[in-house]
Amino acid sequence: MERLVVIGAGMASGRLLEHLLEADPTAYRVTLFNAEPRGNYNRIMLSPVLSGEKSFAEIVTHDDDWYAAHGVTCRFGERVTGIDRDRKVVIGERGEVPYDRLVFGTGSDPFIIPCPGHDLDGVIAYRDLDDTNRMIDTRPGSRAVVIGGGLLGLEAAAGLRMRGLEVTVLHLAGHLMERQLDPAAGYLLRADLERRGIAVMTQASTRCIRGEGRVEAVELEDGTVLPADLVVMAVGIRPSVALARQSGLVVNKAIAVDAQMRTSDADIFAVGECVEFAGQLFGLVAPLYDQAKVLAATLIGQKAAFAPKQLSTKLKVTGCDLFSAGDFGDGPGREDIVFRDPARGIYKRLVVEDDTLIGAVLYGDTADGNWFFGLIRNGTDISDMRDTLVFGPAYQGGTTADPLAAVAALPADAEICGCNGVCKGRIVEAIEDGATDLGTVRAQTKASASCGTCTGLVEQVLAATLGDAFQMPTAQKVCDCTDLSHEDVRRLIKSRSLKSQTAVWQELGWRTPNGCHVCRPAVNFYLLADWPLDYRDDPQSRFVNERKHANIQKDGTFSVVPRMWGGITTADELRAIADAADKYDVPTVKVTGGQRIDLLGVKGEDLPAIWADLNAAGLVSGHAYSKGLRTVKTCVGTDHCRFGTQDSTGLGIRLEKRLWGSWTPHKVKLAVSGCPRNCAEATCKDVGIVCVDSGFEIGVGGAAGMDVKEVQPLVKVATEDEAVEWTVAFIQLYREHARYLDRPYKWLAKVGLDWVQQTLGDAPERKALVDRFDLSQTIYQTDPWAELAVREKACAFAPIANLTLEAAE
């Protein structure tokens, strides 16, 4: 095995290792150096981390397990101080590593304007996780000045604003993002940012940064002074080439490489932002990935050559959709096709030269971006479709506005995923090989696996290719009241400390005054789950069953199910239930699958009275109607059964007494079986415990409804106390992370059992989850029947007035 040393764990080197180890896992023994004390992560997704829309864990591309599984020796947090090319060793701060082949993935450094005061505390760049964390840790209400109104600067500004800072963007040019946008789109972008409360100053040149030890203000050339607690420099990047230069490699603006990514030393290669190829530098992720692919092939002796392609740009600021590609400067012989819809903030400009499209700027509606980009790259003759060109692919060839027509019309080589350079043909190939959902396509092709903005397009390719066999995931957004997804809303409620419905509507820009029947129950749940002490459940944001604490039937009557702990009851309880059934003319009495008794057909106005009667016999609400803990089903365990290994009934009752009354994203059903014969059917429950001689096997994510799922093993524990602790912690984790109306099995499919096991396996974290659950229970573990059966509340169940009586008098 040859020795490969890689310096720098950035996006390009991460992708290189992936390709290399996939193609030939035995070719090299790899050592990976990184000056940052962590491995590869998706650097272009730092902006959603800054804004609080994603967590760092979500953007890690390779974790410790991956490096271990692939035999990569990690030297993170260690700088490389030199390279001895004669002895072929890399000299790290903690020792030398010999190499046969060496790869530079040193990336770039942020460019810091050398104005007076640039080295004050509080002046930072926006490059890595540490910078991001510096910004996240800045107190809301502080004043931030972002120098640079390009992609990175604006993403930083938007993120800081979402964190509650006062933000001013300074930009040297006459309009924002002048390299990607024309002035009109720049104006719309500026207006959008200003609406979010971000101040924008163009043609603003920084003279100096003032402060005593710490930044206090930014002074402009025109004399303006802007007070500042934080200054973010986002004016550009410079290839990081000091080490390469010191090692004697040929370096121009960056490390010179040939089309095989080889430097002037035959055994040394380079990829990413530190590379110069044919006089060109590379800053966007797509060409970096191309380079990684080429280098991986080169390293295992295959033929490949890197060729730069034209690029397109998207801004990752939630709510600002812009896209640009190609050349859109004015010039002789160039013609513009412009579409404006000012009320909706939509602007589209196409630049045509010699009957081909050479540039496109889209603002507000970027759905057709990739199609335009395809026309630009292929130099397609557009003379036949010029009249309708600006309306996008759906309007070509006289077809109707079928949303899928646009994607169906794309040629196989049309690029769908810009980050990973995945074209439609590759996705279709994967689908023809058996992929039927987004996850599989993503795993096999990497399409939509980086910045994710093309997810919708990939889904459309699935839909167009599979036809009816593909069920289009319901739009990512919660409902028509917002463009945010459930995950976004949950994250923002936490990261921005939104503690009331009004705060959510206002801060997250809801389009309706107070939501609708889809979003309001979800938001109500998220608020009460995240802020149990600050927010109180709002019955008017609950579906009827949870507001009436009874299940509505098709004729408008209700069903009443008293709780029977662990499915155990007594003769007295049964007598009280029978009496109630007689007294209130209950037409149907049924035993449920969850070991309870259901009284069906109770009139709404009788509910408080029947509850009061059942309460009097010691019975409380069984929550048979709630997105909350339903039932814990048990077998008789060691009490009576000759096979029982543990007290399954006792454990079931103990769990039910701990968990009842809690609200969850969807209903939660448990069971405890006393032996592997599993009479309580624990293996198809949200949490199912099977007792064995040596302890308790806890399974999670089972279901026996629309989908039938067997539980996945979460953990095996020795004692009943541990079984309770793990169960409570699991349910709290589900409460804190799942989207509303996802049963645990659906949630597990999204986050993965591994993550849940890891999180719960951490004893302090498990304990903290249990504590948070118990805290919430101090508020919510109450019997709603007892609360509502009192006279003042009970009258709400009756008509406000009865005019039929008066009429009869």
Partner 1 sequence: MSWIDIGALEDIPLRGARVVKTAAGCVALFRTDAEEVFATSNSCAHKGGPLSEGIVHGRRVTCPLHNWVWSLETGEAQGADEGRIATYPVRVEAGRILIDDAAIGRRSAA
- By CB under 8 A, is residue 266 in contact with partner 1? no
- What one-letter code names the amino acid at 572? D
Q: CB of residue 804 vs partner 1: minimum separation in angstroms? A: 5
Residues 337 and 328: their CA atoms lie apart, in Å, by: 11
Q: CB of residue 545 vs partner 1: minimum separation in angstroms? A: 8
Q: Which stretch binds partner 1 (CB under 8 A): 339-347, 572-580, 658-666, 800-808?
A: 800-808
Q: CB of residue 665 vs partner 1: minimum separation in angstroms? A: 18
Q: CB of residue 502 vs partner 1: minimum separation in angstroms? A: 10
- Reading the block at residue 403, the tokens are 């949303």
Q: Which is nearer to partner 1, 95 or 539 (CB)?
A: 539
- Reading the block at residue 186, the tokens are 């720049």
Site string for partner 1, 509-548 (x = CB under 8 A): ---xxxxxx--xx-----------------xxxxxx--xx
* 3-state per-residue secondary structure call for 62-123: CCHHHHHHCCCEEEECCCEEEEECCCCEEEECCEEEECCEEEECCCEEECCCCCCCCCCECE
Figure out which of the listed residues 554, 591, 754, 764 binds partner 1, where binding follows CB under 8 A.
554
Side-chain-side CA neighbours of 7 within 13 Å: the count stands at 31
**CB 688, CB 701: distance < 8 Å:** no
Q: CB of residue 543 vs partner 1: minimum separation in angstroms? A: 7
Q: Which is nearer to partner 1, 245 or 793 (CB)?
A: 793
- Reading the block at residue 449, the tokens are 């696996």
Q: Report long-range pairs for 490-493 (Cβ below 8 Å, ≥24 apart).
A: 490/526, 490/530, 490/737, 490/739, 491/52, 491/53, 491/54, 491/55, 492/52, 492/53, 492/162, 493/523, 493/526, 493/527, 493/530
Q: Which is nearer to partner 1, 571 or 803 (CB)?
A: 803
Q: If we measure between CA atoms, which residue out of 454, 445, 451 comes closest to residue 285?
A: 451
Q: CB of residue 478 vs partner 1: minimum separation in angstroms? A: 13
Q: Which is nearer to partner 1, 179 or 554 (CB)?
A: 554
Q: CB of residue 747 vs partner 1: minimum separation in angstroms? A: 23
Strand pairing partners for 312?
A: 325
Q: CB of residue 615 vs partner 1: minimum separation in angstroms? A: 23
Q: Which is nearer to partner 1, 171 or 623 (CB)?
A: 623
Q: CB of residue 613 vs partner 1: minimum separation in angstroms? A: 23
Cα 513 to Cα 178, 503, 731, distances in angstroms = 37, 12, 32
Q: Which is nearer to partner 1, 16 or 550 (CB)?
A: 550
- Reading the block at residue 135, the tokens are 């910004």
Site for partner 1 in 705-764 (CB under 8 A): none
Site for partner 1 in 602-621 (CB under 8 A): 604
Q: Which is nearer to partner 1, 571 or 800 (CB)?
A: 800
Q: How many residues bind partner 1 (CB under 8 A)?
A: 29
Give the torsion sign (CA, 499, 501, 502, 503): positive
- By CB under 8 A, is residue 344 in contact with partner 1? no
- What one-letter code names the amino acid at 798? A
- Reduce the DSSP state of residue 537 to 3 states and report it: coil
Give residues with Cβ within 8 angstroms of 635, minimum separation 6. 641, 644, 648, 649, 672, 673, 674, 679, 680
Q: Which is nearer to partner 1, 706 or 801 (CB)?
A: 801
Site string for partner 1, 465-504 (x = CB under 8 A): ----------------------------------------
Figure out which of the listed residues 343, 571, 591, 807 binds partner 1, where binding follows CB under 8 A.
807
Sheet holding 687-692, edge to edge: 629-634, 668-673, 687-692, 695-700, 712-717
**CB 295, CB 103: distance < 8 Å:** yes
Q: CB of residue 785 vs partner 1: minimum separation in angstroms? A: 18
Q: Which is nearer to partner 1, 72 or 527 (CB)?
A: 527
- By CB under 8 A, is residue 801 in contact with partner 1? yes
- By CB under 8 A, is residue 343 in contact with partner 1? no
Site for partner 1 in 358-417 (CB under 8 A): none
Residues 569 and 572: their CA atoms lie apart, in Å, by: 8
Q: Which is nearer to partner 1, 407 or 523 (CB)?
A: 523
Q: CB of residue 510 vs partner 1: minimum separation in angstroms? A: 11
Side-chain-side CA neighbours of 502 within 13 Å: the count stands at 0
- Reading the block at residue 537, the tokens are 């459940």
Q: Which is nearer to partner 1, 544 or 574 (CB)?
A: 544
Q: CB of residue 664 vs partner 1: minimum separation in angstroms? A: 19
Q: CB of residue 553 vs partner 1: minimum separation in angstroms? A: 10
- Reduce the DSSP state of residue 606 to 3 states and report it: helix
Name the DSSP letter for residue 472: P
Q: Which is nearer to partner 1, 377 or 549 (CB)?
A: 549
Site string for partner 1, 586-605 (x = CB under 8 A): ------------------x-
Figure out which of the listed residues 301, 332, 556, 764 binds partner 1, where binding follows CB under 8 A.
556
**CB 622, CB 562: distance < 8 Å:** yes
Q: Which stretch binds partner 1 (CB under 8 A): 201-209, 269-277, 436-444, 798-806?
A: 798-806
- By CB under 8 A, is residue 802 in contact with partner 1? yes
Cα 755 to Cα 71, 507, 714, 726, 749, distances in angstroms = 22, 31, 11, 14, 11
Q: Which is nearer to partner 1, 400 or 540 (CB)?
A: 540
- By CB under 8 A, is residue 26 in contact with partner 1? no
Task: Scan for tokens 């790869």, then name that residue.
Answer: 103
Q: Name the helix (H) or strand (E) containing 407.
A: helix 403-408
**CB 78, CB 35: distance < 8 Å:** yes
Cα 264 to Cα 255, 260, 296, distances in angstroms = 9, 12, 18
Residues 484 and 271: their CA atoms lie apart, in Å, by: 36
Q: Which is nearer to partner 1, 205 or 502 (CB)?
A: 502
Backbone φ and ψ for 327, nearest 5 degrees, come out as -115, 125
Q: Which is nearer to partner 1, 763 or 798 (CB)?
A: 798
Q: CB of residue 517 vs partner 1: minimum separation in angstroms? A: 4
Q: Which stretch binds partner 1 (CB under 8 A): 139-147, 380-388, 550-558, 675-683?
A: 550-558
Site for partner 1 in 30-59 (CB under 8 A): none
Site for partner 1 in 147-186 (CB under 8 A): none
- By CB under 8 A, is residue 552 in contact with partner 1? yes
Q: Which is nearer to partner 1, 425 or 604 (CB)?
A: 604
Q: Which is nearer to partner 1, 718 or 796 (CB)?
A: 796
Residues 365 and 369: their CA atoms lie apart, in Å, by: 9
Give the torsion sign (CA, 512, 515, 518, 519): positive
Q: CB of residue 541 vs partner 1: minimum separation in angstroms? A: 7
Figure out which of the listed residues 26, 400, 474, 804 binds partner 1, where binding follows CB under 8 A.
804
Task: Scan for tokens 């002037």, then name that residue.
Answer: 264
Q: CB of residue 802 vs partner 1: minimum separation in angstroms? A: 4
Side-chain-side CA neighbours of 123 within 13 Å: the count stands at 25
**CB 525, CB 489: distance < 8 Å:** no
- Reading the block at residue 4, the tokens are 């490969």
Residues 563 and 657: their CA atoms lie apart, in Å, by: 10
Q: Which is nearer to partner 1, 439 or 799 (CB)?
A: 799
Q: CB of residue 479 vs partner 1: minimum separation in angstroms? A: 10
Q: Which residues sit at the interface with partner 1, rule CB under 8 A?
A: 512-517, 520-521, 539-544, 547-548, 552, 554, 556, 604, 796, 799-805, 807
